[in-house]
Amino acid sequence: MRTKILISALIAFTFTIGTLMANEPMMAPKAISSSVAELINEEISYPEFAINEKFQGDVVIKVVIEEDGTFEVTDANSHNNDMINYVIREVENLDTDNFEKYAGQAVLVKLTFDLKLY
C-alpha cells in the first residue's frame, strides 16, 4: 500500500514539475539573440531624465518574443527603477514584426548607459 502511495506521489510530483518547466520560454539561438539585442540597443536612446540625473550603468532585461513578433519584458534588473520602467516601456513598444517566427523564445539583453559615450 505504501509503495502505491509513494509511486502515485512521485508521478504527481514529476507531472507538476514537468508542467511548470514546459511553460518556461526556451532561450533563443545565438543569431536570433544577437539580432534582438542589436535592434534593442540601436532603438533605445539615453533618456533625458537619466542624463539630467547623471545615471550611468546597465539595465539587463529578459525579453520573450510574442506570437505577433512583439517583445514582452519578463525580467529587468538595474539599480535605478526609473531606468527599468523606461527600458521596459520602450522595448515593449518597438516595431518588431519580423520576429514573429521566433515566438516563444527568450533573449537576455544588456543595455549600457554611459555618459562618456553619449
* Residue 87 CB-density burial (10 A; 0-12 exposed, 13-18 middle, 19+ buried): buried
**This prediction's pTM:** 0.79
pLDDT at 21 over 60: no
Bridge partners of residue 105, in order along the sequence? 26
Say yes or no to pLDDT of 3 above 90.
no
pLDDT in tens, 67-112: 999 999 999 999 999 999 999 999 999 988 789 999 999 999 999 9
Antiparallel, parallel or unpaired: β 105-113 and 26-27: parallel
Q: What are phi and psi of 60, to 5 degrees?
A: -110, 130
* Residue range 46-77, pLDDT digits in tens: 999 999 999 999 999 999 999 999 999 999 99
pLDDT of residue 78: 96
